[in-house]
Amino acid sequence: MNETSTGDGPRRFDIPLPQPPDALRIGPLREGTFRSPLHEARTAVVVGRRLGAAILLCFLSGLLSHVLQEPPGWLRDHLPSRPVNGYRVTQGLHVIAGIAAVPLLGAKLWTVYPKLFEWPPARSVRHLAERLAIAVLVAATLLELFTGLLNTLQWYPWPFPFRQTHFWLGWIITGALLLHVTAKATAIGEHWWRGRAALPGRRAFLGTVTASVAAVTVTTAGQSIPGLRAVDLLAPRRPDLGSQGLPVNRTAAQAGTTAVPADWRLTVDGPVPLHLSMAELLTMPQHTAPLPIACVEGWSASADWTGVRLRDLLDRAGAPADARLRIVSLESSGPYAVTEMAPTYARDPLTLLALRVNGQVLDADHGYPARIIAPNRPGVLQTKWVSRIEVLG
């Protein structure tokens, strides 16, 4: 009876664990090993808040990115093709927040790492569970940031699929973070507001953390924010370097599409089948749209694309307004040789079968003779070297 009236929440159900002998308390497990006064709760809370915000931003923008690239069946025909720069902005933020999280995670781990050598290692079942949840959180976050960072370098040195791993780790981290914040709610509440007594060194430490975050952000964000290009010193890409002022991820040589057949024709497999030569495409109304290429790897760049509106082609081929499309590239293999497009994109007046970029005929590397360019669409789906458009009922 007494137990139920203490109001001690889940602690009621806690089970003490047998304790190891103190003789095992050696090396860093000894008392007084860690001398810095900054291994304390207020510093951990201030850094943790910033890290938590960065992780949350990564999670939400990552979900959006995932849905736009690989939507679940019930959503795939309803994805909006606007705002034009939606994917560009959210993917840019995703990578910016991920990079900012690296120094924040370093600072947070430094602040709390003495707890790794806490004694006794597990007071009770609850204490053990909390520590295991933190171990999962730390391991998953380290792996997530590491894989994400290497992805921005287009480097995939592991045997597992990047995107699925990155996606599921995101859920694990968010779940473990919620558990962690719940378990530490009391301590977080106590240290959320600034106390009266300033701790020597804390201000300098937090200032250094802020300066580190600012430094890595300013020197990498230029890969997606045009105003910061001049100081884009550390990002793997300068979005204005590359043929025709645009970066190239997969070149025509890599894709095996350097030699476009002289009798190339665009096929549209609709109720009225079309086989259009370049000359015929050029007799159709040409439209120009400033649209970005926004790569999942973090860089983005806008260009002026000129070509035929996809919806004009579809109307000519007698395609129903709600038809999905399959877009087939001349590239014979590769994960993006074939892509699908929802009617929301296909019918958007800005979506083009582009034949020119920035006033010039497309370079082989940018998809000559024709490529897809659509608003609010992940770069991976902006298919280059298009040969056929299939109207899927």
Ligand X SMILES: Nc1nc2c(c(=O)[nH]1)N[C@H]1C(S)=C(S)[C@@H](COP(=O)(O)O)O[C@H]1N2
Q: Which stretches of the chain bind ligand X, using CB under 6 A? A: 246-250, 255, 293, 295, 329, 331, 334, 336-337, 366-367, 379-380, 382-385
Least distance between Mo ion and beta carbon 147 (Å): 16
Least distance between ligand X and beta carbon 65 (Å): 13
Least distance between ligand X and beta carbon 262 (Å): 20
Contact 238, 222 (CB under 8 A): yes
By a kind-dependent CB cut-off of 5 to 8 A, residue 336 interacts, out of ligand X, Mo ion, none, with ligand X
By a kind-dependent CB cut-off of 5 to 8 A, residue 84 interacts, out of Mo ion, ligand X, none, with none
CB-wise, 26 or 259, nearer to ligand X? 259
Cα separation, 170 vs 148, whole angstroms:
11
CB-wise, 183 or 295, nearer to ligand X? 295
CB-wise, 222 or 379, nearer to ligand X? 379
Q: Which residues contact 266 (CB under 8 A, 6 or more apart)?
A: 274, 275, 276, 281, 313, 353, 370, 386, 387, 388, 389
CB-wise, 375 or 379, nearer to ligand X? 379
CB-wise, 108 or 384, nearer to Mo ion? 384
By a kind-dependent CB cut-off of 5 to 8 A, residue 264 interacts, out of Mo ion, ligand X, none, with none
By a kind-dependent CB cut-off of 5 to 8 A, residue 52 interacts, out of Mo ion, ligand X, none, with none
Contact 391, 273 (CB under 8 A): no
Least distance between ligand X and beta carbon 382 (Å): 5
By a kind-dependent CB cut-off of 5 to 8 A, residue 383 interacts, out of Mo ion, ligand X, none, with ligand X
Least distance between Mo ion and beta carbon 112 (Å): 37
CB-wise, 270 or 292, nearer to Mo ion? 292
- In 3D space, the residue among 365, 361, 340 whose CA is nearest the CA of residue 71 turns out to be 340
Least distance between Mo ion and beta carbon 220 (Å): 17
Kindly state the DSSP code that residue 16 receives in the 8-state scheme.
Answer: B
CB-wise, 40 or 269, nearer to ligand X? 269
Least distance between ligand X and beta carbon 231 (Å): 22
Binding site for Mo ion (CB under 5 A): 249, 295, 379-380
**69: burial class by Cβ within 10 Å (0-12, 13-18, 19+)?**
middle
Rounded to 5 degrees, what angle do the CA atoms 93, 98, 100 make? 95
By a kind-dependent CB cut-off of 5 to 8 A, residue 329 interacts, out of Mo ion, ligand X, none, with ligand X
Least distance between ligand X and beta carbon 362 (Å): 8
Q: Report which residue's Cβ sits closest to ligand X.
A: 379
Cα separation, 239 vs 246, whole angstroms:
6
| Residue labelled with tokens 């859920």 | 171
CB-wise, 43 or 65, nearer to Mo ion? 65
Cα separation, 44 vs 145, whole angstroms:
20
Contact 320, 341 (CB under 8 A): no
Least distance between Mo ion and beta carbon 294 (Å): 8
Least distance between ligand X and beta carbon 300 (Å): 9
- Amino acid identity, residue 393? G
CB-wise, 131 or 250, nearer to ligand X? 250
CB-wise, 131 or 250, nearer to Mo ion? 250
